[in-house]
Amino acid sequence: MLPVHYYLGLSVILFIIGTLGVLIRRNAIVVFMSIELMLNAANLAFVAYALYWQSMNGQIFVFFIMTVAAAEVAIGLALIVTIFRTKASIDVDQISTLKG
């Protein structure tokens, strides 16, 4: 088994690329995909530590994270479709509907 720091380093790199995607991209769908990338990087760290401590709890948590990600994507994409219907745009800079 490789040292757990290799997997942690890769997980950090993927997480930061996801953070950059959330901060830079203006397409709401790509922002959502970046959030998925960050969740997946966290999953990688969980599984690496599950093997390291020889405990199943890390893998079980990855299962729950996947479930939450699936629910989040379903709701988020439904919201994006609804916003696109009313505003004809999914640019996050132009979505200020909730502003008073």
Q: Which of residues 41-60 bind other proteins (CB under 8 A)?
A: 43-44, 47-48, 50-54, 56-57, 59-60
User: What string marks each residue from 69 to 88 as x (binds other proteins by CB under 8 A) or -?
Assistant: xxxxxxx-xxxxxx-x----
| Residues 34/72, Cβ–Cβ less than 8 Å | no
Long-range contacts of 50-54 (CB under 8 A, 24+ apart): 51/1, 51/4, 52/4
Query: At its nearest, how many Å lie between other proteins and the CB of residue 67?
Result: 4
- Identity of the residue, 64 or 100, whose beta carbon is nearer to other proteins in the bound complex: 64
By CB under 8 A, residue 32 contacts other proteins: yes
**Smallest separation, CB 22 to other proteins (Å):** 9
Residue 35, interface with other proteins (CB under 8 A)?
A: no
Cβ nearer to other proteins, comparing 65 with 100: 65
Orientation angle between helical segments 57-87 and 28-53, nearest 10 degrees:
180
CA distance 61 to 63: 5
Dist. CA 17–CA 22, nearest whole Å: 9
Q: Determine the length of the chain.
A: 100
Tell me if 28 contacts other proteins by CB under 8 A: yes
